[in-house]
């Protein structure tokens, strides 16, 4: 059973993704420096190596909770599975747009999809399937696919991307793919207006 202050600090360290300094902890709890030091010492003991699944680490800038390396294999197994689980439709659409049009900016992806592309782009970046590559003339970040992308889709090069006309006859129409995608996106945005 920990003291109330130690319990509060544990919760704060759990919630914060960045390390917290003793001053920040004092400010958030309204406790004095000495009390904070005492509660931190208490937590040092609670989270002594080997005691729990989490470790209290002192890093530049303060204290942070981290998972014990003991769990690393299990964590890889767990997260690796999600990493290679199927892409959501939004992610697949976004990835396809980057693959066929690269380099392409996020506003352009959003125009084609007719909806905001922030979340799928972030996930694809996180999964290393796309990466940033420079900026457009308007200053927007441009995205391209990565070599990991080629590997997981088993493509030798971008030339090997399938021809979309086998699923949609209109893909055969003359005109730049980019222009036609943008036109369809605007059309879509127009008809989904309420």
SS (H, E, C) 21-39: CHHHHHHHHCCCHHHHHHH
Residues 46-65, interacting with other proteins (CB under 8 A) = 55, 57, 64-65
Distance CA 99, CA 121 (A): 13
Residues 155-194, interacting with other proteins (CB under 8 A) = 155, 160-171, 174, 177-178, 180-189, 191-194
* Residue 90 Cβ vs other proteins, minimum distance, rounded to whole Å: 6
Contact 8, 20 (CB under 8 A): no
* Structure tokens given for 5: 């202050």
Segment interacting with a copy of itself (CB under 8 A) among 76-84, 148-156, 157-165, 174-182: 76-84
Which of 84, 118, 132, 133 is close enough to bind other proteins by CB under 8 A? 84
Provide the CB-side half-sphere exposure for 2 (13 A, CA). 18
159 interacts with a copy of itself by CB under 8 A? no
* Residue 74 Cβ vs other proteins, minimum distance, rounded to whole Å: 11
Distance CA 186, CA 104 (A): 17
* Residue 73 Cβ vs other proteins, minimum distance, rounded to whole Å: 9
Query: ∠ at Cα 188 (182, 190), nearest 5°?
Result: 105
- Per the DSSP assignment, residues forming a β-bridge with 144 are 131
Which stretches of the chain bind a copy of itself, using CB under 8 A?
1-2, 4, 6-16, 20, 24, 27-30, 46, 50-54, 65, 67-68, 70-71, 74-75, 77-79, 81, 88-90, 105-107, 110, 113-120, 122, 125, 131-135, 138-141, 188, 191-192, 194
């Amino acid at each position: 059973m920990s003291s109330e202050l130690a319990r509060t600090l544990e919760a704060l360290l759990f919630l914060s993704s960045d390390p917290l300094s003793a001053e920040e902890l004092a400010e958030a709890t309204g406790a004095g420096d000495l009390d904070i030091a005492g509660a931190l010492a208490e937590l040092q003991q609670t989270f002594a190596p080997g005691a729990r699944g989490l470790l209290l680490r002192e890093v530049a800038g303060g204290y942070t909770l981290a998972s014990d390396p003991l769990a690393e294999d299990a964590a890889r197994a767990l997260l690796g599975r999600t990493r290679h689980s199927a892409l959501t439709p939004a992610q697949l659409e976004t990835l396809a747009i980057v693959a066929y049009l690269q380099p392409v900016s996020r506003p352009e992806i959003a125009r084609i999809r007719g909806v905001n592309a922030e979340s799928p782009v972030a996930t694809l970046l996180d999964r290393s399937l796309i990466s940033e590559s420079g900026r457009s003339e308007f200053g927007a970040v441009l995205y391209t696919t990565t070599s990991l992308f080629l590997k997981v889709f088993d493509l030798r090069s971008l030339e090997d991307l399938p021809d979309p006309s086998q699923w949609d006859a209109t893909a055969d129409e003359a005109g730049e793919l980019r222009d036609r995608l943008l036109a369809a996106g605007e059309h879509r945005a127009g008809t989904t207006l309420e």
